[in-house]
A and B are shown apart, each in its own frame.
Chain A
Amino acid sequence: MSDYVKSSPHFFRIVKISFVALTIALLVLAFFITAPLQGPADISNVPNPSKSAWFLMWTQELVSYSNLMVYSILGLGLVFFFLPWLPISPTADRASWLGKDQKIVNIITIVSPNIA
């Protein structure tokens, strides 16, 4: 039990500091970073290129090569979802960054966003 410390104050202190720091950062940055607003939606005025939301851009790029590429995204999603049950991720007794016992998972995690 000596490895453990009480959440209050040790853990809550970190939670509070991170909460306040992010809130202040957002409050300050919102003064300077303007939310974009273009002209009213017009279905007859097609922009070139037509882009999806930034967080979907990588899928748009991938699908632009072939519609079948969407299955690679789905496949990868399924692999990640069921990761705890796959033999490439054995049960661990401690957590550590880039653990040697899950080499394949580390490689997939680092490589997959780069391919996209």
Chain B
Amino acid sequence: MNKDDDFVKEFVKHLFPRVVLRSNLRLTYTFCLGGLAFTAFLVLILTGAMLLFHYQPSTTGAFKSILYIENSVPGGWYIRNLHRLASNFFLILLFLHTLRVLLTGAYRKPRELNWCIGFVLLCLALFEGYTGYLLPMDQLALWATQTGMNLLGTLPFGDMLRSFLVPDDIGQPMSLIRFYVLHIALIPLSMLILCMLHFYQIRKQKGALPYL
């Protein structure tokens, strides 16, 4: 048990740099926004995994399974509330973190690669939020997704993207399963890998100023 604890501790320690600039530990510099966003992401993974046990990704079963989670699963309503709340916090914290990085000039060389990773992470987070919107299959989900698809149609190559995401129609079996796979597997996995790269870059650029 002790060895396992040590292993986890060491792993976490190795994700971060061994030393940091004292001046950058001021709360008013970073406001811990990146760390807070990652905390929200962890809560999302945990609550999302719990919801997976009861959710049915089918046109007839999705809404019913949400009602089941809300009314019959012990604490189901609370886990759903927590997942939704954490997703909102996650996006807000990511926006604020990006704003902080821009306004402190922390995106500049030599950390341009980390800026690009962060930028992609922000786009993926938005896409993750969007794909999650459809899953409850209620009126809000259907029409918010429909409006989002209309927005996508205005982009260059938007129609091509739309036909990949929605091969039948919004809320129909194929589109629901694609949104589901993207939401629970592809996007979160990509985000997790990029987060590790993001942390690794911070560690690697320990000597680079501006730090953090």
Contact = CB atoms under 8 A, between A and B. Distances in A.
B35 A18 contact: yes
A7 B17 contact: yes
B171 A55 contact: no
A5 B80 CA distance: 41
A114 to B, nearest CB: 12
A91 to B, nearest CB: 5
Given A26-B82, A43-B171, A63 B154 contact: yes
Interface of A: 3-8, 10-12, 14-15, 18-19, 22-23, 26-27, 29-31, 33-43, 45-47, 50-56, 59-60, 63, 67, 70, 74, 80-81, 83-85, 89-99, 101-102, 105-106, 109-110
A12 B137 CA distance: 41
**Do most interface residues of chain B lie in helix, strand or loop, or is the interface mixed?**
helix
Interface string B40-71: 10010000000000000000000100110010
A5 B116 contact: no
Nearest to A71: B156
A80 B108 CA distance: 11
B112 interface: yes
Contacts of B102: 80, 83, 105-106, 109
Contacts of A96: 104-105, 210
Contacts of B70: 37
